[in-house]
Structure 1
């Protein structure tokens, strides 16, 4: 298959690096292995495949030049979106010498990593492993289940809902909201936070439906869309991602549902095609980025498209590499225990402005945006999946607006 060949090429480049282009630095030539544990099979394989290519793409870019002079190597392992498979994959990764692990799809696998690393790191001083969470957004992961050995580079469910509802508060046409979400921690949290925040900011809004469905198992969302129409919903809030959002949007458009969608992951593989022209002006997204961002990310987006004929949407993976390379250079070490300590409270410049890794819970604090699906134009020419449409920013929220409090009681090594 074409994409497997592309992944193999990308992996080889990431492993080999480009020694002649390697930047001078205190750790010049040292290899840092990052194990990537996410789905490459099942209904969410398209999402995982894209994100793996993104990790490999940025490994190649940072291998050309980074502050520490290190070379990054990505070790991909299919976790099948399963906590049990993730635990086995983590053991395999550590056996292969990885002391950094990246994962993002599903909070169940994320919690499995946290639990495993808490035990491993306590029992194996000097062989610690650090978890780089780039997309698992259950708020509990940096609250009641927070870990010293995890840093989260995405905004959590509550942070994105904070800006979604801040925007919705000023939309007078919103009257009847239907909640549809995946039945696992993230989806449950979307429902909980949506009801709490709308009640506080727009108590006049009615919640006319609140459904949960199995994760990555539903193939026909027509029955859910029928319930939305019957309930008179003018607005849908969903944290769905991957095939669960793609198929939901397709069913809504097929049924002629006249409602706006407020989403977290409208930009993810498959969904832009499902939206197409029928969803213009009707789908909103809360995220740390959007299509046609000015600055460094636009260059990378274009390069990624040219290389893989695919869209770069997990742009915060750039932030992962930026934080690591700057920390390595600062402390002149790639030891995960020393890196974990040095990254507490760290501030660095990324594609979306200054990012702070909050010391209290290791949750990234960053600028968030509300964008809307619209027809591409001269000002916003980049179009995901060649649809002729794109996400255009309509509101920017500074980090302090999106920030939510934490109840984390961080247990740090003695």
Structure 2
């Protein structure tokens, strides 16, 4: 993991942590501390490690290019959220105590991220001059940039409504999809994924029948066979599921074992380790998901170049431009602000336009929702034409189905931002 330079630790110790936190100017310290808070143990630890690797690579890359403000290095602290709101809030306080000025999170689920943002709001209100920012790379609850929006929170991933709009636009051109079942984890995101699916797909295809809907406890189901039996009984030919991590792979395996041929529509499946391997093993059904990029996507030379550097340094495959982008947006805002004071950095992030490896992106000032492209794609066998790159040592890869700009997917927001 990323180790802070000893000279940075010495400088911070000499200056005193209280002095570092009390002053916004980066020129008073050698480092700017970022805390990573996401699951690093338990059933979703593989997802948390994947996210950490991307954040760590970006931080190291920024430092290799001179850091921020002409020489201030970024220092990455890591904390295990344990997929728990209480643990995450404890980690937030520990991060603040260790001098963190920004939190990077998102893989713990929307309920946990919401609790983190609320805790940051309270801390910032009580501790002017020592505020902390929350950068959310994966929790896609529209409420985070809607009714519960916060000046201190920035979402660097397309939200649930944006992703479902892209999928609905794709389903509109798939006449073979006639009966859809909604199967989701029983928490805020799972219920939103189901609700937006019913609403947006229903609008795009009024002829589609929704044949059933069920929610299950997150991370607790070991055998999805009874749920698959329900899919078969309902006559579904497609499933809208927001499941992720083991809850998705176990569902796919159970359906494959039963011989059920289904089309799955998901938000981030291919960016989770092992999903392609699972599809290649069961060889039943099609898994369609939506992200800012997918491995093997054509005409993406900047992503290809970064992915190669990532592979050489980290020894793993690059999967997520938006995670890599999150620290880079923060660094760009610090440079734009000319200081590390959190209020100034937040104002610099508002409306920030950035030429990323996936194209221009914009942090919408109204609600702090990043507008970035989305690519609908399907995990499918390599055919040398539409699927050219094999993944995870299998003969499966990704097929591009449709591409949307951030502006095309942007949704109205009812955010009423309270700014300091």
Gaps of 5+ in 2: 9-25
Quick check: 236-245 or 307-316, which moved more?
A: 307-316
Which residue number in structure 1 is paired with residue 229 of structure 2?
226
Secondary structure, aligned partner of 2:340: coil
CA distance in 2, matches of 1:109, 1:99: 19
Which residue number in structure 2 is paired with residue 193 of structure 1?
196
Mapped contact 1:277–1:389 kept (Cα < 8 A): no
Which residue number in structure 2 is paired with residue 270 of structure 1?
274
Q: 1:409 aligns with which of 402, 416, 419?
A: 416
Mapped contact 2:302–2:358 kept (Cα < 8 A): no
Q: Which runs of 4+ in 1 moved over 6 A?
A: 26-29
Q: How does 1:243-392 map to 2 (within 5 A)?
A: 243-267=246-270, 268-276=272-280, 278-279=282-283, 282-293=286-297, 294-376=300-382, 381-392=388-399
Structure 1 residue 382: deviation in Å? 4.2
1:101 maps onto 2:103 in alignment? yes
Mapped contact 1:18–1:63 kept (Cα < 8 A): no
Mapped contact 1:179–1:207 kept (Cα < 8 A): yes
Secondary structure, aligned partner of 1:148: coil
- Assess, with a 3 A threshold, how the Cα gap between structure 1 residues 279 and 304 changes in structure 2: closer, same or farther: farther
1:150 maps onto 2:153 in alignment? yes
Mapped contact 1:281–1:372 kept (Cα < 8 A): no
Structure 1 residue 167: deviation in Å? 0.7
Q: 1:116 aligns with which of 98, 115, 119?
A: 119
1:16 maps onto 2:5 in alignment? yes
Structure 1 residue 302: deviation in Å? 2.9
Mapped contact 1:280–1:374 kept (Cα < 8 A): no
Mapped contact 1:17–1:63 kept (Cα < 8 A): no
1:214 maps onto 2:217 in alignment? yes
CA distance in 1, matches of 2:305, 2:284: 26
Mapped contact 1:176–1:206 kept (Cα < 8 A): yes
1:53 maps onto 2:53 in alignment? yes
Q: How does 1:120-131 map to 2 (within 5 A)?
A: 120-131=123-134
- What TM-score do the two structures reach when normalised by structure 2? 0.89
Mapped contact 1:236–1:259 kept (Cα < 8 A): yes
CA distance in 2, matches of 1:391, 1:125: 48
Structure 1 residue 348: deviation in Å? 0.7
CA distance in 2, matches of 1:75, 1:378: 43
Which residue number in structure 1 is paired with residue 15 of structure 2?
none
Structure 1 residue 400: deviation in Å? 1.9
Quick check: 89-98 or 46-55, which moved more?
A: 46-55
- Assess, with a 3 A threshold, how the Cα gap between structure 1 residues 59 and 369 changes in structure 2: closer, same or farther: same
* Count of residues in correspondence between the two structures: 396
Deviations 1:61-90 (A, max 9, x none): 111115644322111110100000011000
Structure 1 residue 326: deviation in Å? 1.7
- What TM-score do the two structures reach when normalised by structure 1? 0.91
What's the RMSD between the two structures over aligned residues? 2.1
